[in-house]
Amino acid sequence: MLKRFVLWVAVVAAAGAALGAQGRGGQPTGPQKLTAIRAGRLIDPETGTAAANQIILVEGERIRDVGPNVNIPQNAEVIDLSRQTVVPGFVDTHTHEAMTYKDVPESNIYYYTYITDPTPLRAIQAASSAMQLLSSGFTVVCDVGNNGLYADTALRQAIEQGWIPGPTIIPSGLIISTTGGQFSPSPEMYKYHNIVYPEYLEANSHDEIVKAVRENLLFGAKVIKICLDCKPWGYSVDDIKLFIAEAAKGGAKVNAHVQTRDGAQRAIDAGLHVISHGQQLTPEQHAQMAQKKIYLASTDTPFTDYRGSSQGQQHAADELKSAWQKGVPITFSTDMDYWNEKMKKADGEWMNRGDLTINFLLTWKAAGIPAKDTLKALTTTGYAAADVLKDQRGPIKAGFYADIVAVNGDPLANIDAVRDVQFVMKNGEVFKKNGVITIDNLLRAGPVKGFRRR
Ligand SMILES: [Zn+2]
């Protein structure tokens, strides 16, 4: 037995050494594919300006050069987007790709989805959701819990390693909460912790908070999601500061579900990174958030044929408008995690997860947020809130990952232009072209980008 173990260790070590020769993290080295994109207009959402006739040269996964007179090497593939507008990929800062609650069988009670849909099934749903989101131009997705037993971190790994195409996932792992999580388990559920409890990691004392954060980081979380005030006994300012300090050790920020005014004040006082929902925030609290640069992911559900109410949309729009007026760094966020049989377009086709996600623009329009500020929320502010590889992903600039989207029309004039995504490139790979998904060479038989990529 010992001999076998020694042999196994030797084989694993040799395999590791061989992969090491491929480069750090198992990523291939050597000549990289060159792609030159001719952009009719290139928008910088940070400034709300556009430049005409730009060339973006992409080498491997990253942008090598951008400008009007970039030399196109002979061996580069040329992609002509000269009749379109090019923008950085979009960000949803609050969603749940491995959660889809339905009319049947769970009567839209997401409590029950945990019982009807096991984690492996939800992981496959998440893989599909991720590709649907990418098709609508979302290249970064903050996936903040309610994903069974770590379906979200598995999704990130599958995409990072190259098994399937998808956005950059910023997964939280399990939502950390005080006793009871986000709802009211029965004593049977609570005592045996095998139903519902894959969804919440309970932590009350400071020791438990430290352990819970470390567990999530260990299993691949890139952000720590907490339920700040889901119960009257919620987290104190000191508790939240401990979450922030412990998460920082793993390079993660903290995003909190906040549903009360008191909870929001504790979040602001502790200097939280992202407040999710926050529908009870006052204009005074919005001003404090702006001053402290706390990001808002207000998950603004629109009123549609398939979901929401006019009063609900009005309230969300009023809150969003107040936050925008006070200068809060607002992000595009949805909580899009349900499905029903009314989700069809005029032609009778199903709306996919990307269509449903971008449809949250309805609330932004109801709030009267200008197109350029909505585009900024959907891109650069989203990247900052997602805290994704700072200085490496976001703007279309030399040295950054090539996450590039093209649309018909001009989103600075009419934000609805972002609904019509014609082209998507993620990490330098073309996922969609001329409005059609082309992934025949993006479904791989192994972790082609290296098994160390997490
Ligand atoms: Zn949520």
Residues of the chain with pLDDT under 50: 1-2, 5-26
Contact 290, 283 (CB under 8 A): no
Write out the DSSP string of 388-445: -STTTSSSS-TTSB--EEEESS-TTT-GGGGGSEEEEEETTEEEEETTEE--TTTS-S
Residue 439: beta bridge partners? none
Q: How far is the CA of 310 from the centre of ligand 1 (A)?
A: 21
Please give the pLDDT value at position 110.
84
CA distance 333 to 92: 5
What is the amino acid identity at position 416?
A: D
Task: List the end-to-end C-alpha distance of the chain, in Å, as a whole number.
Answer: 32
Burial call 45-59: b when 16+ CB within 10 Å, e when fewer: beeeebeeebbbbbb
Q: How far is the CA of 16 from the centre of ligand 1 (A)?
A: 39
**Closest residue by Cα to residue 42 from 17, 61, 18, 63:** 63
Q: Which DSSP helix (H) or strand (E) runs through 216?
A: helix 206-218
Please give the pLDDT value at position 371.
98
Q: How far is the CA of 391 from the centre of ligand 1 (A)?
A: 27
Q: How far is the CA of 88 from the centre of ligand 1 (A)?
A: 25
Q: How far is the CA of 161 from the centre of ligand 1 (A)?
A: 26
Contact 143, 95 (CB under 8 A): yes
Three-state DSSP class for residue 344? strand
Residue with tokens 């890139």: 222
CA distance 309 to 336: 15
**Closest residue by Cα to residue 351 from 342, 364, 361:** 342
Contact 174, 193 (CB under 8 A): no
Q: How far is the CA of 373 from the centre of ligand 1 (A)?
A: 23
Q: How far is the CA of 34 from the centre of ligand 1 (A)?
A: 39
Q: How far is the CA of 144 from the centre of ligand 1 (A)?
A: 7
Q: Which DSSP helix (H) or strand (E) runs through 233?
A: none
| Beta-carbon count within 10 A of 132 CB | 20
Write out the DSSP string of 147-202: STTTHHHHHHHHHHHTSS--PEEEE--SEEESTTTTS---HHHHHH--SSTTSEEE
Q: Is the pTM of this model over 0.75?
A: yes
CA distance 333 to 262: 22
Name the percent of the chain in helix, strand, coil, to the closest 5.
35, 25, 40
Q: How far is the CA of 451 from the centre of ligand 1 (A)?
A: 30
Burial call 399-429: b when 16+ CB within 10 Å, e when fewer: ebbbbbbbbeeebbeebebbbbbbbbbbbbb
Contact 243, 226 (CB under 8 A): yes
Three-state DSSP class for residue 72? coil
User: What is the Cα 283 distance to its own chain's centre?
Assistant: 27
Phi/psi at 36 (5° precision): -115, 125
Q: Which two tokens stand for residue 277?
A: 């929902």
Contact 353, 263 (CB under 8 A): no
CA distance 304 to 139: 25
CA distance 114 to 398: 44
